[in-house]
Amino acid sequence: MRSDELFRRAQKIIPGGVSSPVRAIKPYPFYTVSGKGGRIKTADGTDLIDCCLGYGPLILGHAHETIKNAILEQLENGWLYGTPAEQEINMAERIIRDQPGIEMLRCVSSGSEATMAAIRLARGYTAKKKILKVEGGFHGAHDSVLIKAGSGATTLGIPDSAGIPPGVAEFTRQVPYNDPEALEQILAADPDIAAFILEPVMGNIGPILPDDNYLKEVREITKAHDVLLIFDEVITGYRLCIGGAAKEYGITPDLTTLGKIIGGGLPIGAFGGKREIMEMIAPAGPVYQAGTFSGNPLSLAAGIATIDYLNAHLEEYRHAEERTRAIEESLPSSAGGSFVRLNSIFKYFFRQNPPNNYKEAKESDTDAFGRFWKGALTKGVFLPPAQFESNFLSFAHTDEDIETIAGVYNSCLP
């Protein structure tokens, strides 16, 4: 197989043979040569319906003509300036219009960079040292948040990677998702917490949905303890709806991080929030943040085209929700797991009830998932290769694609 040959070459010169660990499918990953609409083609000549979609950014599908044309138009004018360009103003104006709580915005180059900058900003604004995150919540691969859960309801984490000093972990506390009592407990006990960062809908371990009123209680508790609330909407931003989870659940955070969809499939990140907080960022204030590729004109062109398309085609969000419902309704009556969906995000957990937090998600039968995943791939459907990654639909998936996906769930589940 061509992919096998490519992986053997890659292993000699790329650590683990891949550029990101989640791509390390055993015995070897397939290599993609092209993508169009809701499908990709592999180096082995296989066509696959894609429910990974670059792990979320491609809400319009692969190689969408509107996005491609925006990129081509920008290419004619250059792709890196190192100076301000009007596109960054245009992008900021659109996001501020759409996203609750954002009064000022800065673009960066990735979601990880956005969360890193937002955390630094929260510490600089509050003059407090610690942050609080949700157990199992993923906010990128930087030191402050690459912390795995300890034990107990409110925990001190330990580094989730070699190379992170234990002292860094001391400044990151953790709390279970959907547990406002634990949140109140830890904030009441520790006045040195600058911010609580969470995915309002847990995407990197899910989706796991918030309980009724959970996010409202989170907002009230953080305000009561003078702790900034950071919504990490790198996954949910522009995917649930225009305005993301903040709009969907009616919550206004202090800071928001975005990525994925706002770049139209090109690398991007952004963080924004209240004016008085954002004006702490250099050169306006003392909190330093910088980047050569921040406000990259190609990414902005693709992102602006995506945001404009989404705003002009709001009915597509309803169609996406109908399609994930159709997949759920295809499940065999004998299926013993749980299907979770929210608009175009969905997942089948190999546990009887939908998980409420990270601990419950980890109770899923990963061996059963592995067998299901291989069966789905054999039948032409590519799902993210982990029980703990969300699946996505794009607006480009056809009715035929949905019928095939539904058929896979009906035939491949135990």
Q: Could you tell me the residue ranges of all domains in the chain?
A: 65-311
CB 193 within 8 A of CB 171: no
Which residues sit opposite 231 in a β-bridge?
A: 198, 256
Q: What is the pLDDT of residues 95-148, one digit of tens each?
A: 999 999 999 999 999 999 999 999 999 999 999 999 999 999 989 888 888 876
Q: What is the pLDDT of residues 196-253, one digit of tens each?
A: 999 999 998 889 999 999 999 999 999 999 999 999 999 999 999 999 999 999 999 9
Asked if pLDDT for residue 162 goes beyond 90, the answer is no
Q: What is the pLDDT of residues 171-190, one digit of tens each?
A: 999 999 999 999 999 999 99
Nearest to 105 by CA among 270, 346, 222, 294: 270
pTM for the structure as a whole: 0.95
Q: What is the mean pLDDT of the chain?
A: 94
Nearest to 201 by CA among 248, 142, 267: 248
**pLDDT band for position 163 (50/70/90)?**
confident
In this prediction, residue 151 carries a pLDDT of: 37
Percent of residues, the chain, with pLDDT higher than 70: 97
Q: What is the pLDDT of residues 344-360, one digit of tens each?
A: 999 999 999 999 999 99
Q: What is the pLDDT of residues 328-385, one digit of tens each?
A: 999 988 888 999 999 999 999 999 999 999 999 999 999 999 999 999 999 999 999 9
**pLDDT band for position 166 (50/70/90)?**
confident
CATH 3.30.1490.390 assigned to 65-311: no
In this prediction, residue 157 carries a pLDDT of: 60
Between 338 and 170, residue with greater pLDDT: 338
**pLDDT band for position 153 (50/70/90)?**
very low
Which residues sit opposite 147 in a β-bridge?
A: 159
DSSP readout, 247-291? HHHT---SEEEEEGGGGTTSS-EEEEE-HHHHTTBTTTSSB----
Asked if pLDDT for residue 152 goes beyond 60, the answer is no
Non-local CB neighbours of 328 within 8 Å, separated by 6+ positions: 339, 341, 346
Strand 172-175 vs strand 130-134: parallel, antiparallel, or unpaired? parallel
Q: What is d(CA 178, CA 410) in angstroms, rounded to the nearest whole number?
A: 31
- Residues shown for the chain: 414
Angle of CA points 328, 331, 337, to nearest 5°: 90
**pLDDT band for position 90 (50/70/90)?**
very high
Nearest to 110 by CA among 297, 336, 293, 318: 293
Q: What is d(CA 410, CA 414) in angstroms, rounded to the nearest whole number?
A: 9
Report CA Rg, the chain: 21
